[in-house]
Amino acid sequence: MPRLSTVTRRAALIGAGAIAATSTLPAVAKAPFGGPIRTTVRRFRLGAFEITTISDGLRNGGGLHPVFGGNTTAEEVAALVTANNLPPASSTFYFTPTVVNTGDQVVLFDTGNGARGRPDVGNTRARLADTGIAPEDVDVVVLTHMHPDHIGGMTEDGEAAFPNARYVTGAAEYDFWSADDRLSGPMQGNAQLVRANVVPFADRMTFVDPGQALVPGIEAVDARGHTPGHLAFHIESEGRRLMITADTANHFVVALQRPDWHLRFDADKEMAAQARRRVFGMIAADRIPFIGYHMPSPSIGFVEARGDGFVYVPETYQFNL
Ligand SMILES: [Zn+2]
């Protein structure tokens, strides 16, 4: 029986800890700390489809301003972040490719950062294999857009990372990044990566416009602004719907609650803000779930329209039913 008189009020409140703290038995159950464990995959059914989100990894950084909210003050951004129980001077960025297995085809949306980002990120291919989907099993690789964190995993050791896949992307996106005059100037680093990781697969690539289906049940949605040909995707099976929003919003608090705040990585900041309002306005009105590439893992949630923007509501058990 623990000697309760020696138990502090705080220890009593934490129950089992109180017993451990006052036990006179020798400690035989010590275990070394194993370090943080995080969610890396989430798999669920959507109608007849099976959907898996895969964490490519994560990166820690500093405060969000001025990368986010470049058209407002650091104080405004810090105040919103603090009001949402987030630290004002640090942040974590998530990278989340998605697999939609339609039963007929395995469709992978974006490929992660690839080897160039390891060890923090670049884990998509390995984690996909852990779920039972070998790289050879991927039938279609969709590139929502061609920023490095989405195309870095197209190759592995100079070879196709998904050797049996065909590729789908937006024509405007491909034309923009593959243009010769992009190879010098402010976008040359990204354009050179496109030249190395995307252009070699052009002969196996098809282009979709907003409104077009790439396989039955998966349709491209206009989300231009982040990049010139950035696409979201609407998924529907047996009446169940979901949006893959890619980089339409890049932070679950500031980009959704303040959709008009600028993001440094948005090529056309006003068009990107319009895309946020349009895409998340539809998601909120139709009450459908979405997967956002940079939402916190496992990156699935809902939004509610509130005030001048949207509030993120992470998925809980909606897909268990
Ligand atoms: Zn991104």
Q: Which residues contact 180 (CB under 8 A, 6 or more apart)?
A: none
Q: Which residues of 247-282 are buried (b: 16+ CB within 10 A; e: fewer)?
A: bbbbbbbbbbbbbbbbbeebbebebbbbbbbbbbeb
Task: Supply φ then ψ for residue 220, to 5 degrees.
Answer: -75, 145
Dihedral angle sign, alpha carbons of residues 291, 247, 41, 103: positive
**Residue type (1 letter), 200:** P
Dist. CA 247 → ligand 1 center (Å): 5
21 alpha carbon – ligand 1 mean position (Å): 46
Q: Using the mean position of ligand 1's atoms as its centre, give its distance from the Cα of residue 265 in Å.
A: 9
The DSSP annotation for 104-126 comes to: S-EEEE---S-GGGTTTB--HHH
Q: Where in the chain is the domain with CATH 3.60.15.10?
A: 41-314
pLDDT digits (tens, 9 = 90+) for 214-224: 999 999 999 99
User: How far, in Å, from the CA of 167 to the mean position of ligand 1?
Assistant: 18
Q: Which residues make beta-bridge pairs with 168?
A: 142, 206
Count Cα atoms within 13 angstroms, Cβ side, for 152.
22
Look up residue 118 and give its two tokens.
């390891």
Structural contact between residues 61 and 14, judged by C-beta atoms closer than 8 angstroms: no
Task: Quote the ligand 1 centre to 305 CA distance (angstroms).
Answer: 24
Phi, psi of 26 (to 5 degrees): -65, 145
pTM of the full structure = 0.91
**CA 321 – ligand 1 centroid, Å:** 31
Task: Compute, in angstroms, the gap from residue 57 CA to the centroid of ligand 1.
Answer: 12
Neighbouring-strand partners of residue 246: 292
Residue whose entry in the numeric block shows the structure tokens 């502090």: 8
Residue 105: exposure state from Cβ atoms within 10 A (0-12, 13-18, ≥19):
middle
Instruction: Give residue 1 CA to ligand 1 midpoint distance, Å.
Output: 56
CA geometry: angle at 263 spanning 262 and 264, to 5°? Answer: 115
When comparing pLDDT for 321 and 133, which is higher?
A: 133
CA of 31 to the centre of ligand 1 (A): 38
Decide: 309 and 259 in contact? Cβ < 8 Å. Answer: yes
pLDDT over threshold 70, residue 8: no
Quote the pLDDT of residue 217. 98
Distance 2 CA to ligand 1 centre (A): 53
Residue 148 Cα, ligand 1 centroid: separation in angstroms? 8
pLDDT digits over 173-192, tens only?
999 999 999 999 999 999 99
Contact 77, 112 (CB under 8 A): no
Are 249 and 293 in contact, with CB atoms under 8 Å apart?
no
Quote the ligand 1 centre to 144 CA distance (angstroms): 9
pLDDT tier, 14 (very low <50, low <70, confident <90, very high otherwise)? low
Q: Hey, what are 150's tokens?
A: 């989405």
- Which residue is listed with tokens 């703290």? 21
Please determine, for residue 129, whether its predicted confidence score (pLDDT) is greater than 80.
yes
Instruction: Check pLDDT > 70 for residue 292.
Output: yes
In angstroms, rounded to a whole number, what is the distance separating the alpha carbons of residues 111 and 123? 9
150 C-alpha to center of ligand 1: Å?
6
CA 188 to chain CA centroid, nearest Å: 25
pLDDT at 67 over 70: yes
* Domain 41-314 part of CATH 3.60.15.10: yes
Output the CA 119–ligand 1 centroid distance in Å: 18
Q: How many CB atoms lie within 10 A of CB 50?
A: 16
What separation in Å is there between the alpha carbon of 86 and the centre of ligand 1?
21
CA of 149 to the centre of ligand 1 (A): 5
Q: Is the pLDDT of residue 21 over 70?
A: no
Give dist(CA 1, CA 179) in Å, integer: 76
- How many angstroms separate the alpha carbon of residue 29 from the centre of ligand 1? 43
Q: What is the pLDDT of residue 320?
A: 85
96-116 confidence digits (pLDDT tens): 999 999 999 999 999 999 999
